[in-house]
Structure 1
Amino acid sequence: MKPYAGRSSTGPIYGAPFALQCMAQGGVRQVRGPDGNERVSSLTLYAPLEAFGQVPAGSQVTHNGDTTTVILCIPHDDGGLGTPQHTEVICE
């Protein structure tokens, strides 16, 4: 995982790479990105809730040797109800 840190005149800037323990699920689906445009996702990662904020849209993810870009990162917080909590990382 290389977190997106912004843009420069030469392209995107990424922070230091780090490993993120998660469950990966392949499958094609249509999602709406943070800009409101519809995008196609082929990989969804389910990570601990603490990963939210560490993986902004535009980050790069390498899974099984393939590098893709994060479209959207969604926290799923149970609000104290005791149900599973996680962060959904939706990738291209």
Structure 2
Amino acid sequence: MNVPTWLLPHRVTVEPYAGDSAYGKTYRPAVEDVPALVAETIRTVRDPQGREVTSTAQIITAPGLDCPAESRITLPDGRTTTAITVAHHTAPGLPVPQSTEVMCE
């Protein structure tokens, strides 16, 4: 069971991180109009290297979102941010919705 679409009232744009090049970070083509639930609150989270960093936006989407850490995300208000961590929530066999959670700078 996936998170119901009626719980995802916002729309975001995700540019999946593809790696670094000689000219800086590179991204795959943007995925526009991704249904999401966006909470712009300040939280302390750990980045992939284990350092404590501040997240200013948290995004919940349907499962299967292609959004590795370092991806560029445009929020509903037009602000562009970067994904710090991505968590895929699954619960095989349990009657709870599956989702993807992204913590953003």
Q: Fold-level match, TM-score > 0.5? A: yes
User: Is 1:75 the counterpart of 2:95 in the alignment?
Assistant: no
**Equivalent residue for 1:24, pick from 5, 22, 38:** 38
User: What whole-Å deviation, never above 9, does each CA across 1:38-74 have from its counterpart, x for those lacking one?
Assistant: 11001000001121xx100000000111000000000
TM-score by length of 1: 0.94
Cα RMSD after superposing both structures: 0.8
Q: Secondary structure of 2:40's match?
A: strand
Q: Secondary structure of 1:44's match?
A: strand
CA–CA distance in 1 between the matches of 2:54 and 2:81?
Answer: 12
TM-score by length of 2: 0.83
User: Is 1:55 the counterpart of 2:73 in the alignment?
Assistant: no
The match for 2:56 is: 42
Q: What stretches of structure 1 of length at least 5 have no aligned partner?
A: none
Q: What stretches of structure 2 of length at least 5 have no aligned partner?
A: 1-13
Q: Percent identity?
A: 37
Q: CA deviation at 1:9?
A: 1.2
What is the aligned residue count?
90
The 5 Å alignment of 1:3-18 reads 3-18=16-31
- 4+ runs deviating over 3 angstroms: none
Letter in 1 for 2:39: Q
Q: CA deviation at 1:80?
A: 1.7
